[in-house]
Amino acid sequence: MGPGGREHAMITSLLRDPHVSEVHAAPGNAGIAQDVPVHPLNAQDPEAVVALARELSADLVVVGPEAPLVAGVADALDAAGIPVFGPSREAARIEGSKSFAKEIMAAAGVPTARAVATSDMTQVREALELFGAPHVVKDDGLAAGKGVVVTQDRDRAEAHARECLDAGGSVVVEEFLDGPEVSLFVLSDGEHVVPLQPAQDFKRVRDGDEGPNTGGMGAYTPLDWLPEDFTREVVERVARPVVNELRRRGTPFTGVLYCGLALTPRGVQVIEFNARFGDPETQSVLAVLETPLGQLLLDAAQGRLSEDRPLEWAQGSSVTIVLAAHNYPGAPRKGDVISGLEDVSQDPDTWVIHAGTERDDAGHLVSAGGRVLAVVSRGADLREARERGYRGVGRITLDGSHYRTDIALAAAEGRVTVPASSKTAGPGSEDPGAVADPDGRTEPSTAEEQA
List, in sequence order, every residue forming a beta bridge with 258; answer none if it has no partner.
Answer: 185, 274
Return the pLDDT at 169: 83
Indicate the class that CATH gives domain 114-174: alpha beta
CB-based contact 222:319 (threshold 8 Å): no
C-alpha closest to that of 139 among 112, 154, 157, 114:
157
| 3-state SS string for 145-185 | CCCEEEECCHHHHHHHHHHHHHCCCCEEEECCCCCCEEEEE
C-alpha closest to that of 64 among 37, 39, 84, 90:
84
Return the pLDDT at 144: 55
Under CATH, which number does the domain 181-413 receive? Answer: 3.30.470.20
Return the pLDDT at 309: 84
C-alpha closest to that of 410 among 207, 198, 150:
207
Q: At the topology level of CATH, where does 5-89 sit?
A: Rossmann fold (3.40.50)
Sign of the CA dihedral running 195, 68, 203, 376: positive
Return the pLDDT at 423: 65
The residues spanned by each domain of the chain are: 5-89, 114-174, 181-413
CB-based contact 324:214 (threshold 8 Å): yes
Per-residue pLDDT 10s for the chain (451 aa) are 999 999 999 999 999 999 999 999 999 999 999 999 999 999 999 999 999 999 999 999 999 999 999 999 999 999 999 999 999 999 999 998 888 998 999 999 999 988 888 888 999 999 899 999 899 898 877 655 557 888 899 999 999 999 889 888 888 898 988 899 999 999 999 999 999 999 999 999 999 999 988 999 999 999 999 999 999 999 999 999 999 999 999 999 999 999 999 999 989 999 999 999 999 999 999 999 999 999 999 999 999 998 888 899 999 999 999 999 999 999 999 999 999 999 998 999 999 999 999 999 999 999 999 999 999 999 999 999 999 999 999 999 999 999 999 999 999 999 999 988 776 544 334 444 444 443 333 333 333 344 3
For the CA atoms of 371, 272, 179, 404, the dihedral, rounded to the nearest 10 degrees, stands at 0
- One-letter amino acid at 439 equals D
Q: CA 296, 84, 68 angle in degrees (round to 5)?
A: 125
